[in-house]
């Protein structure tokens, strides 16, 4: 190994960015090259498109992220015309369906809303920025609690976590108070209605500059920072194959999508952190095929609704003057429709779900102007309950070497089904959602279960485990079993049934993997110097 190790990172989302930063910071002589198949959307690499003020510029950035649907198949996105639901569990602009209906489309009839973003920053350019901590059985049981807490704290620092965003919102205070009344005595202490932790930086005008992969990369993209000299980001560069010499990874073969030229990039370590479908697809295409690869797919079944807030009830906790002042302040930042984000977190045994409640002055769909609750003075909340999907081998993405997708990789087929266990929890969460809605006002969109894949929280397809027993792809430090110099990252590693947004958990797992990689590469470099 060279005294100056090279690390190849596949994928530019928050997880790949965490690896890049921690490896550059931890290895003073290392060079990191990051490969991203999509384009760079913003001047600052990986910035959230939610920070773009100009509507036309924002729409263009989102369209450029939509992979095959930025072109001929843009009408197959599955987003109803005129519908934009920021901060909710729906197909969002900036993403593209895997099963988009064209040549090379994946096969996902039982998981129709499966989607991804193809751009610098990945989903981190479009996400809701929600970063609640995992709790209870959501946590990985083979990582000790004290270490887990340390990993979470570092992950929160990388993501610029804010635990009290919108805490000064009078409307948000009223929503929390009414929910607390409804569920009084039913929830454990500390797990009642609260503000939703988010990733971003509060601004003087009361808005938030939302965090993307850019804040995770941090010094690696700051002009004049010496760490920047050891980091290279190549957009529109597709990693075609992970190359090996026996069981040892030696680098990656990449295709420059501008020139269509391919080349080999040698690397002392390869980190694959694309997403829960395309990462296992790359491993499969490279002949790396652990028994669990692609299996144990989970996401979050989601029930959503929209409620018009009841002015009489809300006015018990917030005055009309406070409402008007809040609306006036928000009008100064009309480009960002998210405000007063609240939640009831996951807890066990009686609340194994995660509720998110997003305030908005308008509904996410056109309302009949004659509807009595159209232009409701106190506004609306878009509410969603995320629930657990328990891991099963049968829920999986598999790959066909004889059929290629639109990029020339073995095509995907997704098989997925909800069992009686999930159906029971969905029914219980739906009833709680009805209670929450009735406590806040009147439903203008009744609770409904979203199609499979709608959460965009795809997990388990490269799950980590404590033993190489065929039920996991990676070891407790994210190293692929039986393959040297190969680390995987992302939501795909989560082995548990969770109900909360997974990004914080995945970054924490990446912190652990990066620490181990720094330790091992440092030892190997030292050994090569003394040899």
What does DSSP assign to residue 494? -
373, 483 in Cβ contact below 8 A? no
Extract the tokens encoding 108.
Answer: 């996902």
Residue 108 Cα distances to 99, 410, 525, angstroms: 6, 15, 45
Round to whole Å and give the CA distance between 13 and 220. 14
Round to whole Å and give the CA distance between 304 and 447. 5
In 286-419, alpha helices (H): 311-314, 320-331
Round to whole Å and give the CA distance between 335 and 330. 9
177, 317 in Cβ contact below 8 A? yes
Which residues contact residue 81 at a Cβ distance below 8 angstroms, ignoring those fewer than 6 apart? none
SS3 state at 241: strand
96 catalytically annotated: no
**Residue whose token pair is 């090379």:** 104
Q: Which of 107, 160, 351, 457 is catalytic?
A: 457
359, 341 in Cβ contact below 8 A? yes
Nearest CA to 137 out of 299, 336, 361, 353 is that of: 353
Round to whole Å and give the CA distance between 445 and 312. 21
Bridge partners for 480 per DSSP: 474
Catalytic residue ranges: 457
């Amino acid at each position: 190994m060279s005294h100056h190790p090279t690390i190849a990172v596949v994928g530019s989302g928050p997880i790949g960015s965490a690896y890049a930063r921690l490896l550059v910071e931890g290895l003073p002589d290392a060079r990191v090259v990051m490969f991203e198949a999509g384009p760079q959307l913003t001047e600052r690499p990986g910035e959230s498109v939610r920070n773009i003020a100009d509507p036309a510029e924002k729409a263009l950035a989102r369209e450029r992220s939509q992979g095959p649907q930025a072109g001929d198949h843009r009408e197959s996105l599955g987003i109803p015309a005129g519908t934009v639901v920021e901060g909710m569990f729906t197909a969002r602009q900036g993403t593209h369906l895997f099963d988009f209906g064209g040549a090379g489309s994946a096969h996902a009839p039982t998981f129709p809303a499966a989607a991804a973003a193809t751009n610098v920053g990945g989903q981190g350019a479009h996400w809701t920025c929600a970063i609640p901590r995992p709790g209870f059985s959501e946590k990985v049981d083979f990582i000790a609690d004290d270490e887990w807490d340390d990993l979470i704290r570092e992950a929160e620092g990388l993501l610029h976590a804010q635990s009290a965003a919108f805490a000064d919102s009078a409307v948000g205070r009223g929503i929390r108070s009414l929910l607390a009344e409804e569920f009084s005595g039913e929830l454990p202490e500390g797990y009642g209605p609260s503000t939703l932790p988010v990733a971003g930086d509060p601004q003087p005008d009361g808005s938030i500059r939302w965090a993307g992969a850019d804040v995770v990369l941090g010094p690696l993209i700051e002009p004049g920072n010496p760490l920047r000299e050891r980091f290279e980001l190549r957009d529109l560069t597709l990693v075609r194959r992970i190359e090996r010499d026996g069981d040892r990874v030696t680098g990656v073969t990449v295709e420059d999508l501008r020139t269509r030229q391919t080349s080999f990039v040698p690397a002392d370590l390869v980190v694959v952190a694309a997403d829960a479908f395309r990462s296992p697809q790359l491993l499969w295409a490279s002949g790396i095929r652990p028994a669990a690869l692609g299996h144990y797919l989970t996401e979050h079944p989601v029930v959503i609704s929209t409620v018009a807030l009841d002015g009489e009830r809300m006015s018990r906790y917030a005055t009309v003057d406070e409402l008007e002042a809040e609306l006036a302040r928000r009008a100064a930042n009309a480009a960002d429709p998210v405000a007063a984000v609240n939640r009831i977190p996951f807890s066990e045994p009686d609340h194994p779900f995660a509720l998110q409640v997003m305030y908005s002055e308008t509904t996410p769909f056109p309302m009949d102007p004659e509807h009595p609750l159209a232009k409701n003075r106190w506004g609306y909340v878009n509410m969603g309950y995320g629930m657990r999907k328990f891991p099963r081998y049968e829920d999986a993405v598999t790959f066909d070497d004889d059929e290629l997708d639109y990029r020339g990789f073995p095509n995907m087929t997704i098989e997925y089904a909800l069992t009686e266990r999930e159906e029971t929890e969905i029914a219980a969460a739906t009833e709680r959602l009805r209670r929450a809605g009735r406590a806040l006002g009147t439903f203008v969109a009744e609770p409904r279960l979203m199609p499979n894949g709608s959460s965009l929280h795809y997990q388990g397809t490269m799950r980590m485990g404590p033993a190489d027993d065929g039920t996991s792809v990676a070891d407790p430090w994210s190293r692929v079993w039986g393959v040297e110099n190969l680390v995987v990252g992302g939501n795909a590693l989560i082995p548990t049934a969770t109900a909360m947004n997974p990004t914080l958990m995945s970054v924490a797992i990446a912190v652990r993997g990066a620490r181990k990689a720094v330790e091992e590469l440092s030892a190997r470099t030292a050994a090569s110097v003394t040899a």
